[in-house]
Structure 1
Amino acid sequence: MSCCHAASWLSCARLVQRADALRIIRRVPMPGYDVSFLITAQHLAGPGARQQLVDWLVGFVMECDAEINGLKLDINARGRAVATSLLRSLAF
């Protein structure tokens, strides 16, 4: 899993710790993917294990989506600041 955004490092570390507890995230992702999971029947075997796994996966996807949206907003804000600065420098 690549977590290069400084503000999101803590949330990524927390997700990896939870994944280590469930032992589902592969250390080396499958070719062509950034993150891959290995879910076996053993992961689904205990009481409540299936629901815990589903809750974790849903939380993981929601946090990834929130992080991506935050990055998009940051990029738009930077672009807006650069454009504003450029237009001010070109004004007579």
Structure 2
Amino acid sequence: MAQERQRWSRQVTDSSSALALEAGVFTLDDPREIALSLMRSAERSDRRKTDPFRSAMSMLSFYINRAGRKLPAPQRELLEQAKDELRALYGKSRRQS
């Protein structure tokens, strides 16, 4: 049962019904390249339910959240920087809390 729970998030990342992600997108070492890859995937998708920016940001956040504590700090920082790059590519500002 625990193994099944682990698989569903992997399946979403590998074969999302909303975005067809490029292979290895979350393992790239440049935040801008990660953001550009997600942007391309979101722009190409005809199955997404919302605008490309929200789809791309949702997939990035999903990956970060599902990795949880197992995501090494340097990789988490890189992915957080990719969020900022994605916002810049779409001309969005970071929300103030």
TM-score by length of 1: 0.35
TM-score by length of 2: 0.34
Higher relative contact order (CA 8 A, sep 6+): 2
